[in-house]
Amino acid sequence: MMQLDSIVIYPGNDPATIVTETGSERSPIRAVRRFDDFSKALSESASAEIRVDDGLEYPVPADGTIVLCRPDVFERSISHQSDRVHALSARTVVVDIVRGYALEWCERLSLAAAIESDQYFRWQADQRITDRASLYGLKEIGQSIGAVWPEVPNFDGRAYARLSHERFPSLPDLLTAYLSAYVQLL
Protein backbone atom coordinates (compact mmCIF):
# COMPACT_ATOMS: atom_id res chain seq x y z
CA MET A 1 0.00 0.00 0.00
CA MET A 2 1.40 3.38 -1.03
CA GLN A 3 1.75 6.20 1.48
CA LEU A 4 2.07 9.95 1.11
CA ASP A 5 5.84 10.51 1.08
CA SER A 6 6.07 14.06 -0.21
CA ILE A 7 4.14 17.07 -1.43
CA VAL A 8 5.90 19.43 -3.83
CA ILE A 9 4.41 22.89 -4.38
CA TYR A 10 5.00 24.61 -7.72
CA PRO A 11 3.68 28.19 -7.44
CA GLY A 12 5.04 29.31 -10.82
CA ASN A 13 6.70 32.63 -11.39
CA ASP A 14 3.86 34.86 -12.50
CA PRO A 15 4.21 38.29 -10.95
CA ALA A 16 1.30 39.59 -8.92
CA THR A 17 0.33 43.21 -8.51
CA ILE A 18 -0.43 44.37 -4.99
CA VAL A 19 -2.36 47.60 -4.65
CA THR A 20 -1.75 49.54 -1.45
CA GLU A 21 -2.49 53.01 -0.17
CA THR A 22 0.81 54.22 -1.60
CA GLY A 23 0.37 52.70 -5.06
CA SER A 24 0.98 49.33 -6.62
CA GLU A 25 3.95 47.01 -6.67
CA ARG A 26 4.75 43.76 -8.43
CA SER A 27 5.94 40.78 -6.41
CA PRO A 28 6.44 37.08 -7.12
CA ILE A 29 3.26 35.00 -6.80
CA ARG A 30 5.13 32.67 -4.42
CA ALA A 31 5.39 35.49 -1.86
CA VAL A 32 2.04 37.16 -2.52
CA ARG A 33 0.07 33.92 -2.16
CA ARG A 34 2.27 32.77 0.76
CA PHE A 35 3.16 29.36 -0.66
CA ASP A 36 6.09 28.96 1.74
CA ASP A 37 3.71 29.54 4.66
CA PHE A 38 1.29 27.01 3.19
CA SER A 39 4.16 24.54 2.93
CA LYS A 40 4.92 25.07 6.62
CA ALA A 41 1.24 24.64 7.57
CA LEU A 42 1.07 21.40 5.58
CA SER A 43 4.20 20.10 7.31
CA GLU A 44 2.45 20.59 10.65
CA SER A 45 -0.44 18.42 9.42
CA ALA A 46 1.46 15.70 7.57
CA SER A 47 4.39 13.43 8.17
CA ALA A 48 5.32 13.71 4.49
CA GLU A 49 8.20 15.85 3.24
CA ILE A 50 6.85 19.21 2.02
CA ARG A 51 8.82 21.56 -0.20
CA VAL A 52 8.37 24.43 -2.64
CA ASP A 53 9.99 24.27 -6.08
CA ASP A 54 10.43 27.28 -8.37
CA GLY A 55 10.17 25.23 -11.55
CA LEU A 56 7.81 26.52 -14.21
CA GLU A 57 6.56 23.02 -14.95
CA TYR A 58 7.01 19.59 -13.44
CA PRO A 59 7.52 15.98 -14.53
CA VAL A 60 5.26 13.09 -13.56
CA PRO A 61 5.77 12.76 -9.81
CA ALA A 62 7.25 9.60 -8.29
CA ASP A 63 5.10 7.14 -6.36
CA GLY A 64 4.00 8.63 -3.05
CA THR A 65 4.47 12.20 -4.28
CA ILE A 66 1.69 14.69 -4.94
CA VAL A 67 2.16 18.05 -6.66
CA LEU A 68 0.28 21.21 -5.69
CA CYS A 69 0.37 23.89 -8.36
CA ARG A 70 -1.46 26.87 -9.74
CA PRO A 71 -3.53 26.40 -12.94
CA ASP A 72 -0.91 28.06 -15.18
CA VAL A 73 1.81 25.65 -14.02
CA PHE A 74 -0.47 22.66 -14.59
CA GLU A 75 -1.44 23.82 -18.08
CA ARG A 76 2.21 24.46 -19.01
CA SER A 77 3.20 21.01 -17.69
CA ILE A 78 0.54 19.10 -19.62
CA SER A 79 1.15 21.10 -22.80
CA HIS A 80 4.80 19.98 -22.82
CA GLN A 81 3.97 16.39 -21.85
CA SER A 82 0.75 15.77 -23.77
CA ASP A 83 1.39 12.02 -23.83
CA ARG A 84 1.42 11.94 -20.01
CA VAL A 85 -1.64 14.05 -19.12
CA HIS A 86 -3.37 11.33 -17.11
CA ALA A 87 -0.21 10.46 -15.16
CA LEU A 88 0.31 14.16 -14.32
CA SER A 89 -3.35 14.83 -13.49
CA ALA A 90 -3.72 11.86 -11.16
CA ARG A 91 -0.92 13.22 -8.94
CA THR A 92 -1.83 16.91 -9.09
CA VAL A 93 -3.84 19.19 -6.83
CA VAL A 94 -4.61 22.43 -8.64
CA VAL A 95 -4.56 25.28 -6.12
CA ASP A 96 -6.01 28.76 -6.50
CA ILE A 97 -8.46 27.85 -9.27
CA VAL A 98 -11.54 29.94 -9.98
CA ARG A 99 -14.66 28.45 -8.36
CA GLY A 100 -16.56 27.86 -11.59
CA TYR A 101 -13.72 25.72 -13.00
CA ALA A 102 -12.72 23.56 -10.02
CA LEU A 103 -15.33 20.81 -10.37
CA GLU A 104 -15.18 20.82 -14.18
CA TRP A 105 -11.36 20.46 -14.20
CA CYS A 106 -11.51 17.63 -11.65
CA GLU A 107 -14.10 15.70 -13.63
CA ARG A 108 -12.57 16.33 -17.09
CA LEU A 109 -8.92 15.83 -16.15
CA SER A 110 -9.20 13.32 -13.27
CA LEU A 111 -7.14 15.51 -10.94
CA ALA A 112 -6.16 14.33 -7.48
CA ALA A 113 -8.07 17.37 -6.17
CA ALA A 114 -8.60 21.11 -6.63
CA ILE A 115 -8.69 24.01 -4.19
CA GLU A 116 -10.72 27.06 -5.13
CA SER A 117 -9.23 30.53 -4.98
CA ASP A 118 -11.64 31.63 -2.25
CA GLN A 119 -10.75 28.66 -0.03
CA TYR A 120 -7.05 29.30 -0.48
CA PHE A 121 -7.56 33.03 0.13
CA ARG A 122 -9.46 32.28 3.36
CA TRP A 123 -6.53 30.21 4.57
CA GLN A 124 -4.04 32.84 3.39
CA ALA A 125 -5.92 35.66 5.13
CA ASP A 126 -6.16 33.50 8.27
CA GLN A 127 -9.82 34.32 8.54
CA ARG A 128 -11.47 32.84 11.62
CA ILE A 129 -14.71 31.85 9.94
CA THR A 130 -16.99 29.22 11.38
CA ASP A 131 -17.31 27.50 7.99
CA ARG A 132 -15.06 24.50 7.49
CA ALA A 133 -12.47 24.47 4.74
CA SER A 134 -13.34 22.58 1.58
CA LEU A 135 -11.67 21.15 -1.49
CA TYR A 136 -12.84 19.33 -4.58
CA GLY A 137 -11.93 15.68 -4.38
CA LEU A 138 -13.12 12.21 -5.24
CA LYS A 139 -16.35 11.28 -3.46
CA GLU A 140 -14.96 7.78 -2.90
CA ILE A 141 -12.05 9.22 -0.91
CA GLY A 142 -14.37 11.66 0.82
CA GLN A 143 -16.51 8.78 2.04
CA SER A 144 -13.49 6.84 3.24
CA ILE A 145 -12.38 9.71 5.52
CA GLY A 146 -15.91 10.66 6.61
CA ALA A 147 -16.17 13.91 4.61
CA VAL A 148 -19.49 15.41 3.56
CA TRP A 149 -20.54 17.42 0.51
CA PRO A 150 -23.59 19.38 -0.61
CA GLU A 151 -25.78 17.62 -3.13
CA VAL A 152 -25.97 20.70 -5.33
CA PRO A 153 -25.04 20.54 -9.04
CA ASN A 154 -22.32 23.22 -8.82
CA PHE A 155 -20.60 21.33 -5.98
CA ASP A 156 -21.43 17.68 -6.73
CA GLY A 157 -20.33 15.99 -9.93
CA ARG A 158 -20.23 12.44 -11.23
CA ALA A 159 -17.06 11.40 -9.34
CA TYR A 160 -15.97 14.57 -7.52
CA ALA A 161 -17.58 16.90 -5.01
CA ARG A 162 -16.76 19.84 -2.76
CA LEU A 163 -15.66 17.97 0.36
CA SER A 164 -15.47 19.23 3.94
CA HIS A 165 -14.97 17.47 7.24
CA GLU A 166 -15.86 18.39 10.80
CA ARG A 167 -12.62 16.92 12.21
CA PHE A 168 -10.46 18.75 9.66
CA PRO A 169 -11.69 22.37 9.71
CA SER A 170 -8.47 23.93 8.34
CA LEU A 171 -7.39 23.64 4.71
CA PRO A 172 -3.98 22.06 5.49
CA ASP A 173 -5.57 19.46 7.81
CA LEU A 174 -8.29 18.57 5.29
CA LEU A 175 -5.84 18.37 2.40
CA THR A 176 -3.36 16.10 4.19
CA ALA A 177 -6.14 13.78 5.45
CA TYR A 178 -7.57 13.58 1.93
CA LEU A 179 -4.19 13.02 0.23
CA SER A 180 -3.13 10.36 2.75
CA ALA A 181 -6.21 8.37 1.75
CA TYR A 182 -5.95 9.28 -1.93
CA VAL A 183 -2.42 7.94 -2.53
CA GLN A 184 -3.58 4.51 -1.44
CA LEU A 185 -5.69 4.37 -4.63
CA LEU A 186 -2.72 5.03 -6.93
Reported as a single tens digit per residue, the pLDDT across 72-131 is 999 999 999 999 999 999 999 999 999 889 999 999 999 999 999 999 999 988 756 567
18: pLDDT confidence band, cut at 50, 70 and 90? confident
68: pLDDT confidence band, cut at 50, 70 and 90? very high
Q: What is the pLDDT of residues 48-67, one digit of tens each?
A: 999 999 999 999 999 999 99
- Residue 15 has what pLDDT? 82
Task: Sort 14 into a burial class: Cβ within 10 Å, 0-12 / 13-18 / 19+.
Answer: middle
Task: Please give the average per-residue pLDDT across 25-46, as a whole number.
Answer: 92
Gap between the Cα atoms of 146 and 1, Å rounded: 20
Gap between the Cα atoms of 124 and 6, Å rounded: 22
